[in-house]
Chains A and B, each alone.
Chain A
Amino acid sequence: MRMWWKDVWPPVVAVLLFLGAWQAAVYMFHIEDWILPSPAGIAREAASGAQGLPGHTLATLRLTLTGFVIGTAVGFIIALILHMLPGLKTALYPLLVVSQNVPTIALAPLLMIWFGFGMLPKIIVITLVCFFPVAVAAMDGLARTDRTMMNYMQMAGAGRWQTFSKLELPHALPSLFSGLRIAATYSVMGAVIGEWIGSDRGIGYYMMLQKSAYRTDRVFVAIVIVVLLSLLMVGLITLLEKRLIRWNAKSREVSR
């Protein structure tokens, strides 16, 4: 209990100091609300429960989760295929890396033109930002299987599937999860971008709406919600990781 508190209080104090400085700056320099609202003002706005905010949040959460599941599945499948076919990996890996240089924000409008305003283009956006960290992490983990364990499995006469399920996959799990954690944050970003470009609900849509109305305080509320959603996603992944990988929890705590 005390140990836990020891880790938590420094960032909490840092955030409180930051908010305090912000509040003081807005107050002292008489900054107009539509340029930079004070934290207290933002909190007041959030507490007043602006119209439909829970609904928008839920819509974004649903989109994020759907996109995340599909995106990571695509990433994992790509990793599996490229792992099983090393020739294909040498051919496609550089292309995958290059694909990450295409800015999603530039691609999103095109996707809307091609696929309309439904779920599909948004899910494609999220998939585009999610699959890569998962694919790379999974491929890395699979490729780095311990040589002596692999030798043992082969000499024991293990089949391809046994080798994969009993050695390669569990060995790759920690690496896979570091990719999943990145993808979790990206998925929220992807969802918001998707909603900016074309949607009639969700936090991204709400943000655009309030921006046009110069309700800066509400834009900030939306930002806070996006941050909280990201934290929630990362928290879910960490929870899942703790459940699935109990064996080296200790060694990782030391290295952290």
Chain B
Amino acid sequence: MSRNISIPGAIDAAAAMPSSALEADGITKSFRDRKTEVKVLDGLSLTVQPGQFASIIGPSGSGKSTLFHIIGGLLKPDAGAIRMNGSDVTGQKGRIAYMPQQPALFPWRTALDNVLLPRELSGMPKEQARDEARILMERAGLSGFENAYPDTLSGGMQQRTAFLRTLMSPQEVMCLDEPFSALDALTRTDMQHWLLDMWEADRRSVLMITHHIEEALLLSDVVYVMSNRPAAILQKIEVPFARPRSEALLHQPAFLALKQEISDRMRNELRKS
């Protein structure tokens, strides 16, 4: 119902406006599994403005990770385009700082070397990166584990390492696929606030997938609610709360009401399937 309909001439209007950091426009994608064809994404559109924090909430299996694979150029959409700063980057790799849903750390690299990988890939100087990485690791509660191999780290520590690897990526737009899902509630809250502080300090553009409505509302400027498969955006919610945000926000009536509203909408959507 609130699906974006592309109107001829809309592109010209967009060109005149300051262009968005990331834009998915009418992304459609089907997977062929032997004979059956499963339509996963159906004309999904969303935008992330420069310096904006956007979240995607959606049912499991609705195609959120698939959308990230398309944004990252790993998959080609059947229809639609990905644009960054106004230029078409559909199918181009290396444009986003990506955090996969599984940590996908390299087991032969120490935690520190894993965090340094994106800098190596972009051929940036190592020494400065090393210092930066150490500071980040300390902040993420990983000091003392710089030289540990991933299989000796707990699931939560692995996820934090993967998160830092994404932070170290030089690309401006970060795409985080459920970055804190493996963390216990306390660590999760701590990491959320850290991300919040850090993001409010340097304002990279972020697109984050989460199942956690509270997390989405706390961190984001805008929340996209995704429908069941075949997925499109059901609703775009502008989060009105002022920044800098703090823990106290979680108990404000307005926050709770918004959380309830999204939760109801998602329950409705799940019931439909």
Contacts and interface: CB of A to CB of B under 8 A. Distances in A.
Contacts of B109: 247
Contacts of A153: 121
A171 B105 CA distance: 12
The DSSP consensus for interface residues of chain A is: helix
A158 to B, nearest CB: 5
A251 interface: yes
A247 B107 contact: yes
Given A151-B69, A155-B93, A158-B121, A248 B151 contact: yes
Interface residues of A, number: 22
Contacts, number: 64
Contacts of A146: 104
A148 B100 contact: yes
Interface string A206-243: 00000000000000000000000000000000000000
Interface in B150-177: 151-152, 169
Nearest to B72: A155
Interface in A145-183: 146, 148-149, 151-158, 162, 166-167, 170-171, 173
Contacts of B30: none
Nearest to B152: A250
Contacts of B118: 156
A155 B98 contact: yes
A154 to B, nearest CB: 6
Identify which of B98, B152, B169 gathers the most chain A CB atoms within 10 Å of its CB.
B98
Interface string A124-163: 0000000000000000000000101101111111100010
Nearest to B120: A166
B74 A154 contact: yes
A151 B74 contact: yes
A170 B108 contact: yes
A142 to B, nearest CB: 15
B102 interface: yes
A173 to B, nearest CB: 8
B100 A151 contact: yes
Identify which of B69, B93, B118 gathers the most chain A CB atoms within 10 Å of its CB.
B93
Identify which of B94, B107, B108, B120 gathers the most chain A CB atoms within 10 Å of its CB.
B108
A174 B117 CA distance: 21
A251 to B, nearest CB: 6
B104 A247 contact: no
Nearest to B98: A155
Given A156-B169, A157-B121, A151 B104 contact: yes
Nearest to B149: A247
B98 A156 contact: yes
A157 B94 contact: yes
A151 B73 CA distance: 10
A47 B98 CA distance: 67
B31 interface: no
A247 B149 CA distance: 6
B1 to A, nearest CB: 32
A24 interface: no
Contact of A156 (B69, B94, B107, B152): B94
Given A155-B74, A156-B117, 10 more contacts: A151-B69, A151-B74, A151-B100, A155-B72, A156-B94, A162-B121, A166-B120, A170-B106, A245-B108, A250-B151
Nearest 3 A-B pairs (CB), nearest first? A157-B94, A155-B72, A148-B104
